[in-house]
């Protein structure tokens, strides 16, 4: 399927494509367009609109679009649940939700400042969420201590 | 220069190369080798060893190698000071010293897990620190209001504010003033008296008046009302022009005639004649 959202992604519109591609729809393609074109283009291209008010896949209460996808597709991997809290914290300015949220926000905001091409931003962001997932799944108990 | 350190970098051995390359030595090259070979290889190829014990470029007390480079080269960019805390927090497992440290650690540890080639990891890590630097330098104060729900509220709020200013609520004194003028149109009303009865400063009233009365000044508005009333009285056919002048608050008939002509283009007597004639015509 094609998935479409607003241009200039930072958190949720990078994290959701990562989640969709890896856990929902391996063949997914992602399209970024100006905010006012999302629904028009979605109709035209038969794409699923997401992370925009009025779409099925969007924020619900305090929860962001990433959370909605986790719920809708019954994703139970604890590492995904943990990333959901980090993404929600970074995306909704609620850094208290997860210790890693503030760092994810800083790095994402800085990446978006450096990469104005949304698709380039997406490809780098994908690597970042791959990293976050590996950390959550395999290495989070590891401590990093200087052994002098 | 060549710079050499231990293989399998995560934080400090990625952050330092980024710092060196951007702020110390543009031509720098970086090498990762097994820990026990660092010193030996450094000597063999004339490279500067860093982030291993017992060399100059290393941890000093609770500070990491990134801190040492900043201090050594007197780098004063405040964004670097911000980054130093984050790097130190992530590198020394002191996530309490910067709120971004835990996130940097998670992403760095995950990248190192995913990417086995140290040089590829360095290249990806460079992008990470570029991002962190830009955030520290330009975006630290920026809040993320991307929450679409917030946007809906903000949109609605903005529309509300626009409507408010477009409609500009009519102050209570305007309604009161209209009533007073209506009631006293036949007397010698003036703005100073009215402002007293409304308990409003006369110069404020004079300044604000036209905003609420079709861009007319107080005098213009009064004259307009008086002429309208005069025409109404003429059409009733019960009063002489002298009486009408008196009933509409004009001090004398010549004043009435002059103002009437200004407004309608005709003298009161001509206006009345034409009115009477048109009445007859329609009757006929």
Interval A65-108: pLDDT, tens = 999 999 999 999 999 999 999 999 999 889 999 999 999 999 99
Distance CA B271, CA B269 (A): 5
CA distance B73 to B63: 15
Q: Residue B217's domain spans which residues?
A: 172-283
8 A C-beta contact, residue B134 and residue B83: no
- Which carries the bigger pLDDT value, residue B12 or residue B241? B12
- A74: CB partners within 8 A, 6+ apart: none
Note whether A4 and A33 are within 8 A (CB): yes
Contact (CB, 8 A) for B30 and B17: yes
Quick check: is B159 in a domain?
Answer: no
Is residue B194's pLDDT more than 60? yes
E strand residue ranges, chain B = 2-6, 29-33, 48-49
Mean pLDDT for B101-106 is 96
| Interface predicted TM-score (ipTM) of this complex, two decimals | 0.92
CA distance B203 to B224: 22
- Choose the closest CB to B151 out of A53, A93, A127: A53
Higher pLDDT among residues B187 and A49, named by residue: A49
pLDDT at residue B164 tops 70: no
Summary mean pLDDT of chain A: 94
Q: Is residue B164 part of a domain?
A: no
Tokens of A44: 């035209």
DSSP H helices, B59-100, are: 65-72, 78-91
User: For B109, which of A124, A135, A148 is closest by C-beta distance?
Assistant: A135
How far is CA B267 from its chain centroid? 57
Q: Are residues B35 and B110 in the same domain?
A: yes
- 3-state secondary structure (DSSP) of residue B111: helix
Grade residue B283 by pLDDT with cuts at 50, 70 and 90. Answer: very low
Distance of alpha carbon B94 from alpha carbon B101, whole angstroms: 8
pLDDT in tens, A53-69: 999 999 998 899 999 99
A125 min Cα distance to partner chain B (Å)? 10
Rounded to whole angstroms, the Cα distance separating B186 from A135 reads 88
Tell me the average pLDDT of chain B. Answer: 87
Specify whether B117 is located in the same domain as B184.
no
CA-based radius of gyration for chain B:
43
Model confidence band, residue B84 (pLDDT cutoffs 50, 70, 90): very high
- CB nearest B134 (choices: A90, A92, A114): A114
Q: pTM, whole model, 2 decimals? A: 0.67
Of the candidates A75, A76, A74, A87, the residue with the CA atom closest to the CA atom of residue A128: A87
The nearest CA of chain B is from the CA of A61 a distance in Å of: 8
- Check pLDDT > 50 for residue B7: yes
Q: Give the tokens for residue A144.
A: 């990093």
Query: For the residues A117-143, what does the mean pLDDT come to?
Result: 94
Please check whether residue B154 lies inside any domain of the structure: no
Please tell me whether residue A47 adopts helix, strand or coil conformation.
strand
Contact B131 A111 (CB under 8 A): yes
- CA neighbor of B260 nearest in space, from B239, B276, B275, B244: B244
- Predicted confidence at residue B155, as pLDDT, reads 59
B124: in domain: yes
H/E element holding A6?
Answer: strand A2-6
One domain, residues B114 and B21: yes
Most A CBs within 10 Å, among B98, B107, B125, to test the A interface: B107
State whether B183 and B277 are in the same domain: yes
- Grade residue B209 by pLDDT with cuts at 50, 70 and 90: confident
Tell me how many helices (H) and strands (E) chain A has: 6, 3
Segment B174-196 shows an average pLDDT of 79
What's the pLDDT score for residue B151? 55
Looking at the structure, tell me whether residues B7 and B131 fall in a common domain. Answer: yes
Q: Is B151 part of any domain?
A: no
- Reported as a pLDDT band with limits 50, 70 and 90, residue B117 is very high
Q: Given this model, what pLDDT does residue B281 score?
A: 59
Residues B61 and B187 in one domain: no
The predicted model gives A24-37 an average pLDDT of 96
* Count: domains in chain B: 2
CB B6 within 8 A of CB B54: no
Lowest-confidence segment of A38-42, B113-117, B156-160 by average pLDDT: B156-160
B276-281: long-range contacts at Cβ-Cβ below 8 A with a sequence spacing of 24 or more?
A: B276/B237
The count of residues in chain A is 148
Stretch B152-158: mean pLDDT: 61
Last residue of a domain, one of B139, B162, B184: B139
Q: What is the domain-level CATH number for residue B217?
A: 1.10.10.60
Looking at B91, B122, B139, the residue that finishes a domain is B139
The reply to whether B130 and B199 lie within a common domain is: no
Residues B111 and B210 in one domain: no
- Please determine, for residue A148, whether its predicted confidence score (pLDDT) is greater than 60: no
- Mean pLDDT within B244-262: 86
Q: Which two tokens stand for residue B101?
A: 């440290």
In a domain, B96, yes or no: yes
Alpha-carbon distances of B251 from B76, B119, B232, B255, rounded to whole Å: 82, 99, 19, 7
- Candidates A65, A103, A121, A143, partner chain B, best to mutate (most B CBs within 10 A): A103
Let me know whether B115 and B205 are in one domain: no
Test the B interface: residue of A117, A126, A144, A145 with most B CBs within 10 Å: A144
Is B223 contained in some domain? yes
Give the pLDDT confidence of A116-128 residue by residue, as tens digits.
Answer: 999 999 999 999 9
Q: Is residue B91 part of a domain?
A: yes
């Amino acid at each position: 399927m094609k998935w479409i959202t607003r241009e200039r992604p930072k958190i949720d519109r990078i994290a959701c494509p990562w989640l969709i591609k890896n856990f929902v729809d391996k063949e997914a393609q992602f399209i970024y367009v100006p905010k006012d074109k999302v629904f028009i283009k979605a109709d035209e291209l038969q794409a699923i609109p997401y992370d925009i008010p009025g779409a099925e896949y969007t924020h619900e209460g305090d929860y962001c679009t990433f959370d909605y996808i986790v719920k809708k597709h019954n994703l139970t991997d604890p590492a995904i649940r943990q990333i959901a809290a980090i993404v929600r914290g970074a995306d909704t300015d609620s850094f208290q939700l997860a210790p890693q949220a503030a760092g994810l926000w800083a790095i994402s905001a800085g990446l978006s400042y450096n990469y104005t091409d949304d698709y380039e931003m997406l490809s780098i962001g994908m690597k970042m969420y791959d990293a976050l997932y590996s950390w959550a799944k395999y290495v989070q108990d590891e401590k990093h201590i200087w052994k002098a | 220069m060549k710079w050499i350190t231990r293989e399998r970098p995560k934080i400090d051995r990625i952050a330092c190369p980024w710092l060196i390359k951007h702020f110390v030595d543009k031509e720098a090259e970086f090498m990762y080798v097994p820990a026990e070979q660092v010193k030996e290889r450094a000597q063999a190829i004339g490279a500067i060893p860093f982030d291993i014990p017992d060399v100059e470029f290393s941890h000093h007390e609770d500070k990491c190698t990134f801190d040492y480079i900043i201090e050594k080269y007197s780098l004063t960019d405040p964004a670097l000071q911000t980054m130093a805390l984050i790097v130190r927090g992530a590198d020394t497992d002191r996530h309490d010293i910067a709120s971004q440290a835990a996130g940097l650690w998670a992403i760095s540890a995950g990248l190192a897990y995913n990417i086995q080639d140290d040089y590829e990891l360095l290249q990806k890590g460079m992008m990470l620190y570029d991002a962190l630097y830009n955030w520290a330098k330009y975006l630290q104060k920026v809040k993320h209001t991307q929450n679409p729900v917030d946007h809906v509220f903000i949109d609605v709020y903005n529309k509300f504010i626009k409507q408010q200013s477009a409609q500009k609520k009519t102050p209570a004194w305007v309604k009161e003033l209209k009533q007073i003028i209506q009631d006293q149109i036949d007397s010698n009303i003036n703005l100073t008296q009215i402002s007293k009865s409304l308990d409003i400063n006369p110069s404020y009233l004079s300044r604000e008046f036209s905003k609420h009365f079709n861009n007319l000044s107080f005098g213009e508005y009064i004259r307009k009302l008086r002429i309208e009333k005069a025409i109404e009285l003429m059409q009733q056919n019960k009063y002489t022009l002298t009486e009408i002048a008196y009933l509409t608050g004009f001090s004398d008939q010549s004043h009435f005639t002059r103002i009437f002509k200004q407004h309608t283009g005709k003298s009161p007597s001509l206006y009345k004649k034409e009115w009477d004639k048109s009445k007859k015509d329609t009757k006929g």
